[in-house]
Every structure is written in structure tokens, then in C-alpha cells.
């Protein structure tokens, strides 16, 4: 099949960007979306035009490196990562608009590549359990109820791709934040730092310029790992309790 | 018999081997034998304890005066950065991705082994050690493997304390499963995403140290050269991948935790960016490269769909527990709907050839079986370059026996993944699978302390060669990465650092100037070549050569042919590659060009190593060395050694140093799966 691509091109973060139109022929439905862009880039290279820069690494939906706005949807029309989206989700003659993640907190570095360092800095603010190597007790010394372990796991499945931020009309990172708060807060090992964690991470979230959550739910709809919206309720609850305890 | 299971035994059970064949004559220069000066003596179970005591300590007040560069942020690099940061050293951590959390350890599915013996099923440190040496086909250094098994239990404690959400039983205790054909249940797991959860644990521990100021992280930075000054590794040259700036970073010691080199095959289960550049640049500066030909090829991957394919996706080999592998008996049936092919016309070839293990034969046997039937023209699925490369993995019998719901319960996420990629529903149509390159056991040679042949250069995880011999057991890669990063390296690097801080070296030092200039020259070369072919097209062609001649089955003639093909393709690459864009901006073609340039040199060395090793062992199968039944045949009398290759110089032959493998705690045995 043949598709028409409208792609955001921007040489670097200081320059203005613009949409450019390209056509790609002989697209097979078995290609992933990113393989289709690989084909475009081979074409551009041959023509002497700078290939389109985009991020990807594992290409199996787990590293969280890839992420594009495709026809206005984070990761495109399916509930998956951009690398796992395949061209059979499109049809011959389609026009596809491709943009970088939309968020002031994720500045564009080039074309479709953005800087998501803000997510790392939120983890640095408190997204961990303080345990130095070698000081851990025997693994079976603290049993964890299975349901708690399952809920922690479901929240820990977050891959940090930033789709939730890109999809949110407010540019909020609350789903990412709620996922970490829930993951560590569900486990007995995470209790000692539970209050300070939520307070510090929320402060960093706001400092980075992410917007507030107004429970629209676009984040969870766009999440390739289907992190549920209730992690944000957990986040709000933990924050309330921490503040009530004087944090 | 006593010696085969007696850990306290400390006399040799085998003689050093003497190589008679010399297939690689003319392709290498023999070098001095290599003796690891750091392997401890004494009974195997005491060696690590002894070494930890012997290695000098660094006073906490002195640690903040010492600096460590760590390249790579996967399990081995991330865990080491966190641990050395906690200890108070100044750590600089580098990764080419946009965040340390993206490293490819994240993609490991199955689990992590540890000798906890929670199931009381007879597991022990010694049994994990024994299984690992045997699984590696007796080509690993036993002292290292024993230490790996010994620290495995500590890893689980550490990860649980960090909040890694391992699978648990209803009583709240950790669940285990059996994995990769071993008879004990020692594998800890977090659904099919164990690597992700372990990596997030190490990443969070590292980010905590970033906040504490002990670790400084450099994301979107790629190491392009090692700085060796006055005989010691003292730093790296890295390119800032956003601004293009070529940066010099100096330290007291350098750690490479940069992963494996499976992408030399172009198509593999590695991430797109996984590359050999960090270790290869170190090799060119004097670090020996050990056993480069040892490649693990995983049998259960989704087949290639077309020439556009950019990577291959692994599906957990647990699928082989309930799926039956077959191809049509007749070539004429290969393009038919498999459901229309009657039972009598199907060849369940693994069950036929290996009646006792059937579909559960080890990875290399299952892989070679698939290759053989496809070479015969009985493969299924789309034709790519004129050949159908795929075999059926059929769940219809299990669905009939257990019901679709039970199969969904066990394998639902894998079936969904398969359907997402292929567009076919495996509940209705048999899956198609084909082997793919998955892991490389070879890597930079290191001594017992994980130090390379350049003083001050340490190598951990998949980037080194040390623990898996000629083949790696399932769920052991994660174990090694975290063992090295959390427990081994922090206890060995202090012996080296006890002599520091070393004399600071200025940026005008000739070694720094030379390293920086060579990087700048390479960048300038690629951008000024103005050729006609893209980097990817060269990489794909190199990958085809490697897969054809240095893949699942290797022959003397094929390897010699491959070396010629690689040499002429490499020459063309340097003259005719086309890289657009500029040096001072984000330029992904330029990044790839540097990596492919190094893959060319590595690919040739892999072929030379495979050519020299005229035996079949683990992941390395030489057609000239098989039993009458077509099984792999080792030659312990000739090849029970580590092949450590020294870079001979541009245009010169590599130098082969041999480290004899002499076992004291076990005896070597030939395996059989019939």
C-alpha cells in the first residue's frame, strides 16, 4: 500500500519546526510503523535529504524509548507502543500525521525526538526504596500478600514512555507518578519512606512544568501498559495522608 | 566419582589441551599462553571468601577522591553505579539511550536463577554451579562460575528489599519455577517482565545516588574511544549525541558494562542501538577479546516477514512445554493452510529424532533442527529471498487437551504479542517460529577480578566472557549482570583503587589528544565520504554473511569465504558509505556508521575464532565435528581453553592467547539428549 506522511521536522530545539509531506510506496501490512519510517529514511538518504530523527530501541514494546503522536493519538490507534503498531492498522491511501510528544516539559531535540529527562528527575526526587547493596534482609523475612504484590506489579509495569503526558490535555504526568507511588506504596518495603516520597515527587512534578490532573482519563486510554486510573486516586490519597502527618 | 561432586577437591580432573588441528593457519599469529594471575587457589567454595579478604579496602574518606567511569546502565552497569555511589566513590555513568532505564536488560522475559532452595528440591550453590558449567559445555572458568552461584541468593534479597515485585504465592512468599530444562525450581520471576522489574530496581537505586550527588549521569552519550595513559585505562572519549560535542572524561578507573554484540548479525533480538563499539575500541587499545564466536541462537522467535525487517522478537521458550514443533513431510505442502495438512503428512522432527526430550531439547539443538528442515526446503511461511524460514509451533493438541482457557491462562500475553506482530491468531492457526541471535557468550577477556588485560579497565555483564562458557542457561543472564554489578565488581575494584588516586592526567596528554583526534577523524571521514549506499544497507549485508556462514552451523570453507566477503565489503563501506547531516547535531546515521564500522572488524574476528575452533561446543557448531548421529562433538583434548585474541594492528593478524581450562571441582562429560 501507499501512504502519505505529514511529519514534524525541526533541526534542533532552538529552531522553528514545520510539517513536511512525504509519500511512501510499497508499504507491507506486516511492517511495523517504525519499519515504515525506516523505509522512508532509506528513501530520503538516497535523495540526499536528511533522514527523519525518531527514538526507538528495543522495538518489542518494553524499553519505553519510542513514542510518536500519530494522527493526534499517543502511540497511534492501537493500545500499544509505537514500535508494536503495525501497518495493518492503516489502509492504502491513508494520510498519517506524525508529531513528537506534545508537552512543554518534553522539549523537542530534533524532529520527533524529545527530552524526557523530567521523568528521571521525578524518580530522583523519591521514586526508590533506600536500601544500600548488601544491607538487605533475607528475602523471605517479610511475606507480601499476593494481592498487594499483584497490584504493585501492575503499577510497576509502567515503561516511562511519556504517552500519558502527551495524551493529557493538561500535560500532567500524574499517571506516571501515581504508578510509582502505587508500586512502592503497596509493598511493605516501601512504607518507611511513603510520606516523604509522595510529597517530594509531587513537588518535582510541579517544578518540571507538568500540569495538574483533572481526571479526564486520556492518560490511561493512551497507556500502552494499561496502567489504571486508580493509581492517581492512590497518589492523591497518599498525598493527603502525608500532609495530614505534617509533611 | 568422588571428584565429580566434591567441592573441596582441589586437584585437576583434566589435563591442559593440546591443539592438533590448525584450520585458521594464515589468519592469526600464535601468542604466549595466558595465565589468569588473579584466580585464587584452594577449594572452590573458599575462593571468593578468600579473595574478598585479600583485596585491600579503601578508607571511606578516600573514596570521595576516587572517580569511576561506568559505560552502560543495564543490570551490570546500573547496579555497579548504584553500589559504588553508595560506597562514596565519584561515579560518572554513560548510556546512549535517553534514560538509564531503557538499557536492553529490560527486555529479558523469563526470570533470574538463584540457589535459594526455597522449594527444598535439592538445589544448592554447588548444583547451580554444576548446571551452569555443564550448560556452558565445559568452556567456562570454574572459579568465576562458582562465585556467580554463591552470590546468587544475595541478589534476590537485594531486589526484594528494593521493591522488585516478584511473583508470590498465596502465603506471601516468593514463587519459583523451573526453567530451561533444569530439574529444580530456582527461577524467580515477575510475570514475563523479569528483566524490566530488575532493571527498574537497579535504575531507581542509581537515581537515588544521582540525587545524593555520588553518581553523575550522562544520557544520550556514546563512548567512542578508550583513553589508555601510561599503561592504565584512564578515561573515555564520548560523543554528546544531541550537540555532537566530542567530550573527554577522565577517571581513576573505567568499567565497561556495555552489553553484547548480537547486532553484528543485523537481525537479532537485541535493541536497535545495542553495539560493540565500547568493547571493540577497548580491544583495539589492548584488551583481549575472548571466545568471540560463542553466540546463542534462540529457537523460539517470530520469523522474518520481509526485507524491511529491523529486528526479531523473542517469545519465551516456555512455549515449547505445550507446543509441538513440525513441518510438512512434503515440500509441496509448504504453502498450504497447515490445518489442511493431515497428521500423516506432518513431520514432528524433534519428537522423531529425540524421542526422550522431544520438543524440550536444548536451545542449540532445537535451533539447528529448524535450520536443517528449512534448508531442505520444508520451511513454512512467507518466502524471503527465495526461502521459507519458519516451522510450526502448534498448540492445537494442547488446546484440545487442556481447553483454550487454560492455554490462554498460561501463554495469553505471548499469544497476544504474536498476533500483534504477525496478524495471525495462534489459537486458530499454528504459530510460526524460527531461531534468532539472542545472546553472545564471548566478550572482553577478564581475570577473576573482572579486570581486562589493560590495567584499570573492568568489564561486567554480557560485555565480558566470563561465566557462561560456550552456552548460557536460561535465566542466567540477569543473574550474572546483577552479580557482577552489585556484589563482585565492588569487591574487586577496591584492590585496584587502593593504589589511587592516580596522578591526574591533563587533556593535553598525548594519549588523550590521540584518542580524541581519532574519534574526530572518523566522524569527519563518514560525513565527507559522499558515497552511494546507506549505513543500514551495509549492516544488513554484513548480517547476512554472518548469519549464513557464522550462524547456527559453521564450516571451514564457509568461514574462509565469509572472511573474504567481509573484507571486501568493509573496504567498500569505507569508500562508499553515504552519511548525511552534520557532526554538530543529533545525527542517527552518523551514530550507526561508527557502530557498523566496528561490527565489520568484530565479524571478521568471530569468523577467525570459529575457524580455529574445530570442535562443536555449546552455541558453536562446526559441521566437521559431529557424531555419527549428527550431534555436537567436543574435543576436550584440543580445545579446553579460552581463546583470548589480542588486536594485532590495522591490517595485521590477530594474536591468539590461550587460557587453559582446568577443572578441579567437576569432571567434563559429553552431553546426550537422545
Question: Which residues on A lie below 8 Å from B100 (Cβ)?
Answer: 120
User: Average of pLDDT values for B11-22?
Assistant: 95
Q: Average the pLDDT over B550-566 and give the result.
A: 97
Exposed (0-12), middle (13-18) or buried (19+): which is B1, by Cβ within 10 Å?
Answer: exposed
Last residue of one domain, picked from the residues A110, A130, A162: A110
If pLDDT is split at 50, 70 and 90, which confidence band does B6 have?
low
Q: Is the pLDDT of residue B181 over 90?
A: no
Whether domain B2-10+29-294+441-497 has CATH 3.60.20.30: the reply is no
Query: Could you give phi then psi for residue B392, rounded to 5 degrees?
Result: -80, 140
**DSSP secondary structure letter of residue B100:** G
Cα separation, A48 vs B229, in Å, equals 41
User: Can you give the residue range of the structural domain that contains A53?
Assistant: 3-110
For residue B100, what is the nearest residue in chain A, using CA coordinates?
A120
Tell me how far apart the alpha carbons of residues B187 and B409 are, in angstroms, rounded to a whole number.
20
Residues A17 and A137 in one domain: no
- pLDDT tens-digit profile of B333-362? 999 999 999 999 999 999 999 998 899 887
Residues of chain B with CATH 3.50.50.60: 2-10+29-294+441-497
pLDDT per residue as tens digits for the range B91-147: 999 999 999 999 999 999 889 999 999 999 999 999 999 999 999 999 999 999 999
> What stretch(es) of chain B map to CATH 3.90.700.10?
298-437
Among B118, B167, B486, the residue with its CB nearest the CB of A133 is B486
CATH number of the CATH domain containing A50: 3.10.20.30
Say if the Cβ atoms of A153 and B190 lie within 8 Å. yes
8 Å CB contact between B462 and B438: no
**Cβ pair B420:A145 closer than 8 A:** no
A12:B585 CB<8 A? yes
Q: Are residues A83 and A44 in the same domain?
A: yes
Q: Does A37 share its domain with A130?
A: no
Task: Tell me which chain A residue has its CA closest to the CA of residue B269.
Answer: A58
Q: pLDDT digit string (tens) for B497-518? A: 999 999 999 999 999 999 999 9
Q: Check whether residue A23 and residue A105 sit in a common domain.
A: yes
CATH class entry, domain B298-437: alpha beta
Instruction: Report the candidate in B450, B453, B609, B604 with the shortest Cα–Cα distance to residue B32.
Output: B453
Which chain A residues are closer than 8 Å to B102 by Cβ?
A: 57-58, 63-65
Question: What distances in angstroms separate CA B325 from CA B314, B376, B379, B395, one per listed residue?
Answer: 16, 16, 12, 9
CA-wise closest residue to B259 among B280, B242, B275, B235: B275
Rounded to the nearest angstrom, the minimum Cα separation between B165 and chain A is: 5
SS3 category, A231: helix
Residues A130, A83 within the same domain: no
Q: Is the pLDDT of residue B280 over 60?
A: yes
Taking 3-state DSSP, the helix, strand and coil percentages for chain B, each rounded to the nearest 5, stand at 40, 15, 45
- Comparing CB atoms, the residue among A88, A123, A152 nearest residue B207 is A123
Residue in chain A closest to B268 (alpha carbons) equals: A58
Domain boundary among A51, A84, A110: A110
Best of B172, B240, B307, B536 to disrupt the A interface (most A CBs within 10 Å) is B172
Query: CATH no. for residue A182?
Result: 1.10.1060.10
B4 has pLDDT over 70: no
Are residues A123 and A35 part of one domain?
no
The topology (CATH level 3) of B510-637 is Methane Monooxygenase Hydroxylase; Chain G, domain 1 (1.20.58)
Query: B385-404 pLDDT, tens per residue?
Result: 889 999 999 999 999 999 99
Considering only CA atoms, give the Rg of chain B: 24
- Mean pLDDT for B438-446 is 98
Which chain A residue lies closest to B490 (C-alpha atoms)? A133
pLDDT of residue B65: 97
On whether both A92 and A180 belong to a single domain, the answer is no
Same domain, A105 and A154: no
Residues 6+ apart with CB under 8 A from B436: B267, B268, B269, B297, B298, B301, B312, B314
Other beta carbons less than 10 A from residue B413's beta carbon: 15
Alpha-carbon dihedral B535, B539, B541, B544, rounded to 10 degrees = -170
For the cut 50, the answer to whether the pLDDT of residue B3 exceeds it is: no
Q: Which residues in chain A have their CB less than 8 angstroms from residue B190's CB? A: 153, 156
Residues A24 and A73 in one domain: yes
pLDDT at B9: 61
Instruction: Tell me whether residue B385 is exposed, middle or buried, using C-beta atoms within 10 angstroms of its C-beta: 0 to 12, 13 to 18, 19 or more.
Output: exposed
Decide if pLDDT at B2 tops 50.
no
Q: Do A134 and B487 touch (CB under 8 A)?
A: yes
- Three-state DSSP state, B488: helix
Length of chain B: 674
Q: Where does chain B hold its CATH 1.20.58.100 domain(s)?
A: 510-637
> Do A92 and A133 reside in the same domain of the chain?
no
Q: How confident is the model at residue B673 (pLDDT cuts 50, 70, 90)?
A: low
What is the nearest CA distance from B124 to chain A, expressed in angstroms?
16
Q: List active site positions of B.
A: 363
Identify the residue whose cell numbers are 566470563: B466
Sign for the pseudo-dihedral over CA of A153, A156, A162, A164: positive
Q: Is residue B257 within 8 Å of B72, Cβ to Cβ?
A: yes
Task: Provide, rounded to the nearest whole percent, the portion of chain B with pLDDT above 70.
Answer: 98
Q: Do A146 and B205 touch (CB under 8 A)?
A: no
All residues of chain B having their beta carbon less than 8 Å from the beta carbon of residue A146 are: 168-170, 172
Contacts of A202 (CB under 8 A, 6+ apart): A177, A235, A239
ipTM of this complex > 0.95?
Answer: yes
CB contact under 8 A, A133 and B79: yes
Extended beta strands in chain A, E state: 3-9, 18-24, 69-70, 73-74, 95-99, 108-110, 113-114
Instruction: Count how many domains chain A has.
Output: 2
Report which of residues B321 and A80 the model is more confident about: A80
C-alpha–C-alpha distance, residues A232 and B286, integer Å: 53
For B310, the closest of A35, A46, A149 (CB atoms) is A35
Q: Provide the 3-class DSSP secondary structure of residue B293.
A: coil
Cell digits of residue B475? 535465566
pTM of the model: 0.97
- Same domain for A125 and A231, yes or no, is yes
Nearest partner of B532 among B579, B568, B565, judged by Cα: B579
Task: Note whether A63 and A89 are same-domain residues.
Answer: yes
Ranking B279-283, B399-403, B509-513, B596-600 by mean pLDDT, the lowest is: B399-403
Domain boundary among A75, A94, A110: A110
Look at chain A and count its residues: 247
Amino acid at each position: 500500500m501507499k501512504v502519505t506522511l505529514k511529519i514534524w521536522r525541526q533541526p534542533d530545539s532552538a529552531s522553528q519546526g514545520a510539517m513536511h509531506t512525504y509519500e511512501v510506496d510499497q508499504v507491507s501490512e506486516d511492517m511495523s510503523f517504525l519499519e515504515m519510517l525506516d523505509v522512508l529514511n532509506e528513501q530520503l538518504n538516497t535523495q540526499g535529504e536528511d533522514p527523519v530523527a525518531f527514538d526507538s530501541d528495543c522495538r518489542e514494546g518494553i524499553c519505553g524509548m519510542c513514542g510518536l503522536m500519530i494522527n493526534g493519538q499517543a502511540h497511534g490507534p492501537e493500545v500499544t507502543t509505537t514500535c508494536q503498531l503495525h501497518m495493518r492498522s492503516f489502509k492504502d491511501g491513508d494520510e498519517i500525521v506524525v508529531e513528537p510528544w506534545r508537552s512543554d516539559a518534553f522539549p523537542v531535540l530534533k524532529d520527533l525526538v524529545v527530552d524526557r529527562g523530567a521523568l528521571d528527575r521525578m524518580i530522583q526526587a523519591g521514586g526508590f526504596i533506600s536500601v544500600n547493596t548488601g544491607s538487605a534482609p533475607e528475602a523471605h523475612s517479610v511475606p507480601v500478600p499476593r494481592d498487594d504484590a499483584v497490584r504493585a506489579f501492575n503499577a510497576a509495569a509502567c515503561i516511562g514512555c511519556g504517552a500519558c503526558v502527551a495524551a493529557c490535555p493538561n500535560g500532567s504526568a500524574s499517571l506516571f507518578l501515581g504508578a510509582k507511588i502505587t508500586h512502592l506504596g503497596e509493598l511493605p518495603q516501601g512504607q518507611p519512606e511513603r510520606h516523604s516520597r509522595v510529597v517530594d515527587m509531587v513537588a518535582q512534578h510541579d517544578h518540571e512544568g507538568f500540569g495538574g490532573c483533572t481526571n479526564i482519563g486520556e492518560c490511561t486510554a493512551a497507556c500502552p501498559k494499561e496502567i489504571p486510573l486508580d493509581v492517581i486516586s492512590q497518589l492523591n490519597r497518599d498525598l493527603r495522608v502525608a500532609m495530614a502527618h505534617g509533611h | 566419582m568422588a571428584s565429580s561432586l566434591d567441592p573441596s577437591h582441589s586437584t585437576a580432573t583434566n589435563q591442559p589441551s593440546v591443539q592438533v588441528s590448525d584450520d585458521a593457519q594464515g589468519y592469526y599469529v600464535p601468542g604466549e599462553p595466558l595465565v589468569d594471575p588473579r584466580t585464587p587457589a584452594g577449594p572452590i567454595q573458599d575462593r571468593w571468601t578468600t579473595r574478598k579478604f585479600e583485596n585491600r579496602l579503601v578508607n571511606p574518606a578516600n573514596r570521595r577522591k576516587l572517580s569511576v567511569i561506568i559505560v552502560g546502565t543495564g543490570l551490570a552497569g546500573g547496579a555497579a553505579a548504584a553500589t559504588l555511589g553508595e560506597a562514596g566513590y565519584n561515579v560518572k555513568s554513560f548510556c546512549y539511550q535517553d534514560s538509564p532505564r531503557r538499557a536492553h536488560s529490560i527486555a529479558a522475559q523469563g526470570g533470574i536463577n538463584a540457589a535459594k532452595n526455597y522449594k527444598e528440591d535439592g538445589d544448592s550453590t554447588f548444583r547451580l554451579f554444576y548446571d551452569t558449567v555443564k550448560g556452558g559445555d565445559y568452556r567456562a572458568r570454574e572459579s568465576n562460575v562458582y562465585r556467580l552461584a554463591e552470590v546468587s541468593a544475595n541478589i534476590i534479597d537485594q531486589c526484594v528489599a528494593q521493591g522488585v515485585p516478584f511473583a508470590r504465592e498465596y502465603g506471601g512468599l516468593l514463587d519459583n519455577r523451573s526453567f530451561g530444562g533444569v530439574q529444580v525450581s530456582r527461577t524467580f520471576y515477575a510475570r514475563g517482565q523479569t528483566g524490566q522489574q530488575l532493571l527498574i530496581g537497579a535504575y531507581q537505586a542509581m537515581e537515588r545516588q544521582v540525587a545524593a550527588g555520588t553518581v553523575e549521569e550522562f544520557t544520550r552519550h556514546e563512548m567512542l574511544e578508550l583513553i589508555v595513559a601510561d599503561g592504565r585505562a584512564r578515561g573515555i572519549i564520548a560523543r554528546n549525541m544531541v550537540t555532537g560535542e566530542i567530550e573527554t572524561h577522565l577517571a581513576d578507573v573505567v568499567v565497561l558494562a556495555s552489553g553484547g554484540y548480537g547486532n553484528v548479525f543485523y537481525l537479532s533480538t537485541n535493541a536497535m542501538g545495542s553495539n560493540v563499539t565500547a568493547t571493540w575500541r577497548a580491544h583495539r587499545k589492548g584488551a583481549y577479546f575472548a571466545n568471540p564466536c560463542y553466540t546463542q541462537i534462540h529457537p523460539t522467535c517470530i520469523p522474518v516477514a520481509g526485507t524491511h525487517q529491523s529486528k526479531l522478537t523473542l517469545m519465551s521458550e516456555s512455549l515449547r512445554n505445550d507446543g509441538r514443533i513440525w513441518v510438512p513431510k512434503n515440500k509441496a505442502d509448504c504453502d498450504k493452510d497447515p490445518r489442511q495438512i493431515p497428521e500423516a503428512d506432518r513431520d514432528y522432527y524433534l519428537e522423531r529424532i529425540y524421542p526422550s526430550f522431544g520438543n524440550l531439547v536444548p536451545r542449540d539443538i532445537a535451533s539447528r533442527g529448524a535450520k536443517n528442515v528449512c534448508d531442505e526446503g520444508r520451511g513454512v511461511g512467507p518466502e524471503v529471498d527465495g526461502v521459507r524460514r519458519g516451522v510450526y509451533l502448534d498448540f492445537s493438541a494442547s488446546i484440545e487437551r487442556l481447553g483454550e482457557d487454560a492455554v490462554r491462562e498460561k501463554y495469553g500475553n505471548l499469544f497476544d504479542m504474536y498476533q500483534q506482530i504477525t496478524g495471525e491468531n495462534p489459537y486458530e492457526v499454528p504459530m510460526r517460529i524460527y531461531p534468532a541471535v539472542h545472546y553472545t557468550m564471548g566478550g572482553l577477556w577478564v581475570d577473576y577480578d573482572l579486570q581486562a588485560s589493560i590495567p584499570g579497565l573492568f568489564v561486567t555483564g554480557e560485555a565480558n566472557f566470563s561465566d557462561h562458557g560456550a552456552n548460557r542457561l536460561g535465566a542466567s543472564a540477569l543473574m550474572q549482570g546483577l552479580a557482577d554489578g552489585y556484589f563482585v565488581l565492588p569487591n574487586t575494584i577496591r584492590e585496584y583503587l587502593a593504589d589511587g588516586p592516580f596522578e591526574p592526567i591533563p587533556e593535553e596528554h598525548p594519549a588523550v589528544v590521540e584518542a580524541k583526534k581519532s574519534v574526530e577523524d572518523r566522524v569527519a571521514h563518514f560525513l565527507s565520504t559522499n558515497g552511494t549506499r546507506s549505513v543500514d544497507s551495509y549492516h544488513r549485508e554484513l548480517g547476512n554473511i554472518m548469519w549464513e556462514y557464522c550462524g547456527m552451523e559453521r564450516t571451514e570453507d564457509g568461514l574462509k569465504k565469509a572472511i573474504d566477503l567481509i573484507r571486501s565489503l568493509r573496504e567498500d563501506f569505507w569508500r562508499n558509505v553515504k552519511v548525511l547531516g552534520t557532526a554538530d547535531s543529533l545525527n542517527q546515521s552518523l551514530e550507526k556508521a561508527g557502530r557498523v564500522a566496528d561490527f565489520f572488524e568484530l565479524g571478521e574476528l568471530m569468523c577467525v575464532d570459529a575457524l580455529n575452533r574445530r570442535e562443536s561446543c555449546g552455541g558453536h557448531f562446526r559441521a566437521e565435528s559431529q557424531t555419527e548421529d549428527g550431534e555436537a562433538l567436543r574435543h576436550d583434548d584440543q580445545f579446553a581453553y579460552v581463546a583470548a585474541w589480542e588486536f594485532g594492528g590495522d591490517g595485521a593478524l590477530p594474536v591468539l592467547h590461550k587460557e587453559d581450562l582446568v577443572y578441579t571441582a567437576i569432571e567434563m562429560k559429553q552431553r546426550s539428549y537422545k
